[in-house]
């Protein structure tokens, strides 16, 4: 049986409870075990349990890089997570791929 994790930060868990439960129900109907973990519990869990994949909804791309090095398939992957959670990297990605977007200005001034 395949076994996976769905991961959020503890801060985001409550507001995403419906989605987490819906995913668990769907995967169970397909014969796949899907367990919820907070992002700070993942590495400890993986050291003791087999995990085939991770649905990662938190923001620490460095954790995803570790999981990928361990051969665990991650959705979204580390590079997507890194870009999507950083406005400057997202903007640069759009520019590099000729995707229309609003201009962005960087400032060192504090608001």
pLDDT digits (tens, 9 = 90+) for 37-83: 999 999 999 999 999 999 999 999 999 999 999 999 999 999 888 88
Q: What order do you get walking across the sheet with 3-8 strand by strand?
A: 33-38, 3-8, 53-56, 73-75
> Rounded to whole angstroms, how far apart are CA atoms 56 and 77?
8
pTM of the model: 0.82
On whether the CB atoms of residues 5 and 58 are closer than 8 A, the answer is no
Could you tell me the sign of the dihedral formed by the alpha carbons of 67, 38, 77, 73, in that order?
Answer: positive
> Rounded to whole angstroms, how far apart are CA atoms 51 and 105?
42
């Amino acid at each position: 049986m395949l076994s996976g994790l769905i991961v959020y930060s503890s801060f985001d868990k409550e507001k995403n409870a419906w989605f987490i439960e819906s995913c668990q129900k769907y995967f169970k109907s397909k014969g796949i075990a899907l367990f919820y973990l907070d992002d700070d519990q993942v590495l400890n869990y993986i050291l003791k349990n087999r995990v085939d994949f991770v649905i990662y909804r938190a923001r620490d791309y460095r954790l995803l890089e570790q999981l990928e090095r361990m051969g665990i398939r991650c959705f979204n992957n580390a590079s997507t997570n890194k870009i999507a959670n950083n406005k400057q990297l997202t903007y640069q990605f759009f520019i590099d791929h000729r995707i229309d977007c609003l201009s962005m200005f960087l400032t060192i001034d504090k608001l």
